Structure 1
Amino acid sequence: MTAPNPPAIDPGLVARVQNILMRPKLEWPVIEAEYATTRSLFARYAMILAAIGPVAGLIGGQLFPISIFGSVMRTPMVGGLLGAIVTWGLSLLSVFVLGLIIDALAPTFNGTKDKVQSMKVAVYSMTAAWVASIFNLFPVLAWLGGLLGLYGFYLLYLGLPTVMKAPQDKALGYTAVVVISAIVLWMVVSAIAAAVVASFVVGAIGVSAMALS
């Protein structure tokens, strides 16, 4: 008897996404208690979900070219692909750094320092933003993905006292400082990604122009 074909998407991943988004108060205690490593959190979860936005943006850039002063501009495939890879990598790096910040801040808010636990909070609180980034498929709706991604701040607020053992009365302050750190990280990463992507796109356009001349 032949073995059944494995599912295209890990059902455990799907269940975790559904649970953390739809019933976070029940899911955070499960996350807090389960065994994990930084590597497993990224390899089995973050690396997969963080790819949604860049891939959607790459496809959207090909299907829905932008119009500038009446001229249709489609992102060159090679430049767009390289840009998506860079954006994906920088996104993962920012989550890792955010996890380190959460860990470093824990004692300040009477929490418990634990690198793996802090990475759990950083990774799983990003779920909403990663899933919502599917709207990058439609450039005119990308703002909606950003708006829906703000739900991640609420996930963070629920996760910090549960996973990092911070007292409930310290949760709001802990969350506020982490959110400010996340915004700064996002601004830095976005600026770097935009510069790199622009250089790839301009380079690809230049190569194409030379090939056609």
Structure 2
Amino acid sequence: MSVVEGPKAQGLIERVRLILTEPQKAWEVIDGETATVQGLYTGYACILAAIPPIAGFIGASLFHGLFSMTGLLVMAILQYVLGLVMLFVLALIADALAPSFDGQKSQIQAMKAVTYAWTAAWVGGAFAIIPIIGGIGALAGGLYTLYLLYLGLPKLMKVPAEKAIGYTVVVILAGIVVGWVVFAIPAMLVGMMGFGLLAAAAYG
């Protein structure tokens, strides 16, 4: 039974601790767990994915400058929702690419790998509450997420060791493209909001 199937906070915290501090052991446990996409979302991803946008909103609200609190809230919500969408899309990509590297297709295994690997990025996003170091936290979390993907993705998708690096790199590159497309949406909205505020100030 997967830890995410239950609502216990203790199980969630222990999974976060294990994946961050003992990733090899964590992936061994995760590989044999039963899980569902719904369970992974409601019991894990939806909770941890809220950390970066909430921290970012709090941090930005202290130095919001050009943007209103409403605008910051809208951006935080978009970051949260689109982040969860990206998670699912990346799992689909990982699942689709697995046979090309002699791995086994399994949507739930791909979803487990991507979801748990993203733990580092979500936790690193907590540093956004202090804008001056938020970028450092995000970078550290992102790099560790790549490492977790390298360890866990080939294992869960049964990709041979000699093809593990290639598989992981291709999935990561695909993820970068997907991320660019997904997060271009809020970036455009931010730009339009900023332009609107400047126009209002100029003609108001």
Work out whether the TM-score is over 0.5.
yes
Answering whether residue 169 of structure 2 is matched by residue 170 of structure 1, we say: no
C-alpha separation between the residues in 1 aligned to 2:192 and 2:46?
Answer: 24
Pick the structure with more helix per residue.
2
Answering whether residue 151 of structure 2 is matched by residue 152 of structure 1, we say: no
Moved more, 134-143 or 26-35: 134-143
Q: Name which structure has the greater RCO, CA cutoff 8 Å, separation 6+.
A: 1
Structure 2 counterpart of 1:36, which letter? A
TM-score between the two structures when normalised by the length of structure 2 = 0.88
Alignment map for 1:1-213 (pairs within 5 Å): 10-65=9-64, 73=65, 75-149=67-141, 150-200=143-193, 205=197
- Structure 1 stretches lacking a partner, 5+ long: 1-7, 66-72
C-alpha separation between the residues in 2 aligned to 1:14 and 1:197?
Answer: 34
- Structure 2 stretches lacking a partner, 5+ long: 1-6
Task: Check whether the contact 1:80–1:197 (CA below 8 A) recurs between aligned residues.
Answer: no
Larger Cα-atom Rg: 1
Moved more, 105-114 or 145-154: 145-154
Provide the identity percentage: 47
**Which aligned segments of 4 or more residues in structure 1 are displaced greater than 4 angstroms?**
200-203
Q: Once the 2 structures are TM-superposed, how far is the Cα of residue 9 of structure 1 from its aligned partner? A: 7.4
- Label 1:201 to 1:76 Cα distance change in 2 as closer, same or farther (>3 A): farther
SS in 1 for 2:187: helix
Task: Check whether the contact 1:76–1:201 (CA below 8 A) recurs between aligned residues.
Answer: no
Cα RMSD (Å): 2.1
Task: Check whether the contact 1:129–1:152 (CA below 8 A) recurs between aligned residues.
Answer: yes
Task: Check whether the contact 2:154–2:168 (CA below 8 A) recurs between aligned residues.
Answer: no
Query: What residue is the counterpart of 2:3 in the other structure?
Result: none
Aligned residues: 195
Structure 2 counterpart of 1:98, which letter? L
Task: Check whether the contact 1:82–1:197 (CA below 8 A) recurs between aligned residues.
Answer: no
